Structure 1
Amino acid sequence: MERRTYLKSTGTAAAALAMAGCLGGGGSGSKTISIGSDIPYPPFEYMENGEPAGFDPAIAQAVFTDQLGYEYSFKDTSFDGIIQALNNGNFRVIMSAMTITEERAEKVDFSDPYFTAYQTIAVLQNSSIDEKSDLKGKAVGVQKGTTGAGAAEGLKEELGGDLTIKRFDTIASAFNALLNNQVSAVINDNTVSAEYVSKNDDELRFVEGDGAAVEAGREAPPYLTLTIEDYGIAFRKDDDELRKEVNDALATIKENGTYDDIYSEYFAG
């Protein structure tokens, strides 16, 4: 399913969250699903009126509560260690704009994809960087443990090693570094970067041009794409029954229009 690419304000009403009765790792008999997520990462997850909100919580509401009859709770967890925390039993699943990769799939199982994203390059409006090659000899900011960091490593190799990668605990810190001229660019998921660009459009912009999406014949966003990525919900390796239930629920909300309704709350186009 091709997805639209322009961001809507995260000020839209968030889906109601069922937060009561968290049972930690959520064993097979639990009716509350605990969800690990790195908050904030708008528009996918952020705090609103003291509660987690955003695209992922809205999908959780539609899948776990509306379709499967579970309650659920979100547990804020650093992305860099979130898979280990899942496998340690700290929560039942991960919903955190997580890209499905072969490396991660060695440690967890993934649901069917529920979102397509692209790695992109954001720079200052007055930057002289207009294409990938202009980053040679520069420093870029990424969030630790993300596929944005992986895309930066790929770009570094493409530039003959002449690229400095600065890793931050949160994507907000990476963008603060960009705005403070501590890095020359941020490499990150397009929809999340669009949140920062749209709120700071007098200071930030995307690097434009063709890229991975065009090369793959996808409906490309209007800026350079370094990679094409699918997001999935992550499960421990022994949680096949819940994963099947979630896949069935994801298919249902895509078929009955619920997914598109949620998507249109958080993304325009």
Structure 2
Amino acid sequence: MKIHTNIKKKSFWISLLGILFFLLSTPIEAATKKYTIATDTTFAPFEFQDTSGNYVGIDMDLMNAIAKEENFEIEIKALGFNAAVQALEAGQVDAVIAGMSMTDERKQKFDFTDSYFDSGIGMAVSTSSNISTYEELRGKNVAVKIGTQGASFASSIQEKYGFTISTFEDSANMYQDVVSGNSVAAFEDYPVLGYAIRSNHLPMTLTSYKEQVTQYGVAVLKNQNTEFIEAFNRGLATLKSNGEYDKIINKYIGTDDSTTTSTEDTSLLGLLKTNAPTLLSGLWNTIWITFVSLAIATVIGVLLGLMRTSRISILEAIATIYIDFMRGIPLIVLTFFIYFGIPQAFNLRLDATVAAITTLGLNAAAYIAEIVRGGINAIDKGQSEAAMSLGLPYYKSMQKIILPQAIRLMVPSFINQFVITLKDTSILSIIGLVELTQTGKIIIARNLQSSSMW
């Protein structure tokens, strides 16, 4: 009987091991790979946001089509060109697709996919201008967008033709500078110029195009994400062979009826009506980020303020160093350090919202600390001395006598700090945070109505 029981137990364990072996040896479908792709915000027709809040354009449509073809997922981060490149260098994103020319200088830092578009530099002038050649630019000013091949080309011929250059962060302001007469011409990639003029009915005209023909590619860090490059190249080849590539290109810069053109109402009321949800979303982001940042700043600032008025010299010294350092460093430098510097140093990824809240919180804490110190020092010292003479300990006199009076004095300064922090959120658009300012930039990138939007 005992032998029979042992045989049954052995059979059970053998069967169980067999089932486990079968399950473990069964092929499991690999998880879908996901890539974070950084892009520009103001480079139509390659990338821009439509009225529904979706990112569209040649780059976006190609990227989505290739991702579908090669079975991988993408997360788009519209940061602006400079911030996108810095995010790639810091390891915050996997790749950059932003109408990026594959120059020899960039190839030293990045690996590129196969070229997906051949472009060149064009010059556009106001329709009221008689300028048609580079020689006629002498003694005048031209507009370019920072970091573009148009800017590089203008710089390369600046000395020869004797003109000055104004550099802008986005295309919309560059065009507006020409339309308003501050600059006589703009240099930009010819598809971008042509699309902007045609789709937004700008009073400008192209006088030259395809100078310095360049190829666009998707950039990744050197010797990294080779599997992404291989997948992109395979997908691009497939799209070209099945005709989908030509459909995407013709959709934005073709000459047929399928070419995308702007139908947005550009009157002030029309712009508000069309973009109200997007603007409200940007406003909400601005407000809640301000409140969260100030909540963190208040906790840190009150602690630092108490340390600053402490009788313990080491605590006072620590608080003084922090306050002087944070008040002395420009907010934009602190933003770049937290969002790009720290992740690159520690090989981690940091969300733009987290970086924004951290930046504002640390910066505002220094000013709140001084508000607390000023409020405490504004109370007559005689009250502290009277409390001590009555035998009250330091912390008790602060709690019961000094702080209740000091807080009433601090309230106006706290309100002022809230307003300052609210306005400081606009600086954070430099890292792609979609608050109210960045929302405005994204809308302007689509309709080029900068004066109405601002």
Aligned to 1:113: 115
TM-score by length of 1: 0.79
Contact 2:190 2:209 in 1 (8 A): no
1:200 positional shift: 5.5
Contact 2:41 2:79 in 1 (8 A): yes
1:201 positional shift: 4.9
Contact 2:117 2:215 in 1 (8 A): yes
- For 2:236, which of 240, 247, 250 is the aligned residue? 250
Contact 1:83 1:108 in 2 (8 A): no
SS, match of residue 187 in structure 2: strand
Residues 235 and 202 of structure 1, relative CA distance in 2, 3 Å threshold: closer
Please give the per-residue CA displacement for 1:163-218, whole angstroms capped at 9, x wherever unaligned.
Answer: 111110001110011111111110001111112221455721111xxxxxxxxxxx
> What is the CA–CA distance in structure 2 between the aligned matches of 1:114 and 1:178, rounded to whole Å?
30
| Aligned AA (2:228) | L
| Aligned AA (1:116) | D
Aligned to 1:72: 74
Please give the per-residue CA displacement for 1:24-70, whole angstroms capped at 9, x wherever unaligned.
Answer: xxxxx872221111112111111111111111111011111x22111
> What is the CA–CA distance in structure 2 between the aligned matches of 1:99 and 1:80, rounded to whole Å?
13
Please give the per-residue CA displacement for 1:219-266, whole angstroms capped at 9, x wherever unaligned.
Answer: xxxx44322111001111122222122112111111121111211211
Contact 1:83 1:107 in 2 (8 A): no
SS, match of residue 226 in structure 1: strand
Contact 1:68 1:245 in 2 (8 A): yes
* Matching of residue 265 in structure 1 with residue 244 in structure 2: no
SS, match of residue 165 in structure 2: strand
| Aligned AA (1:254) | K
SS, match of residue 159 in structure 2: helix
Residues 124 and 93 of structure 1, relative CA distance in 2, 3 Å threshold: same
List gaps (5 residues or longer) in structure 2: 1-30, 256-454
Contact 1:80 1:146 in 2 (8 A): no
Contact 1:36 1:76 in 2 (8 A): yes
SS, match of residue 210 in structure 2: coil
List gaps (5 residues or longer) in structure 1: 1-28, 208-222
Q: How does 1:41-52 map to 2 (within 5 A)?
A: 41-48=43-50, 49-52=52-55
Aligned to 1:168: 168
- For 1:225, which of 210, 232, 248 is the aligned residue? 210
Q: How does 1:131-146 map to 2 (within 5 A)?
A: 131-146=133-148
The higher relative CO (CA closer than 8 Å, separation ≥ 6) is in 1
> What is the CA–CA distance in structure 2 between the aligned matches of 1:32 and 1:173, rounded to whole Å?
34
Aligned to 1:236: 221
Contact 2:240 2:246 in 1 (8 A): yes
Larger Rg belongs to: 2
1:106 positional shift: 1.1
- For 2:61, which of 46, 58, 61 is the aligned residue? 58
Contact 1:42 1:195 in 2 (8 A): yes
> What is the CA–CA distance in structure 2 between the aligned matches of 1:96 and 1:226, rounded to whole Å?
20
Equivalenced residue count is 223
RMSD (Å), alpha carbons: 1.6
SS, match of residue 152 in structure 2: helix
| Aligned AA (2:231) | E
> What is the CA–CA distance in structure 2 between the aligned matches of 1:151 and 1:67, rounded to whole Å?
36
- For 1:37, which of 21, 33, 39 is the aligned residue? 39
> What is the CA–CA distance in structure 1 between the aligned matches of 2:83 and 2:199, rounded to whole Å?
29
> What is the CA–CA distance in structure 1 between the aligned matches of 2:196 and 2:60, rounded to whole Å?
20
Residues 72 and 120 of structure 1, relative CA distance in 2, 3 Å threshold: same
The structure carrying a bigger strand percent of its residues is 1
Q: How does 1:5-20 map to 2 (within 5 A)?
A: none
* Matching of residue 179 in structure 1 with residue 179 in structure 2: yes
Please give the per-residue CA displacement for 1:68-106, whole angstroms capped at 9, x wherever unaligned.
Answer: 111212111121232221121221111111111011111
SS, match of residue 109 in structure 1: strand
Q: How does 1:141-160 map to 2 (within 5 A)?
A: 141-159=143-161
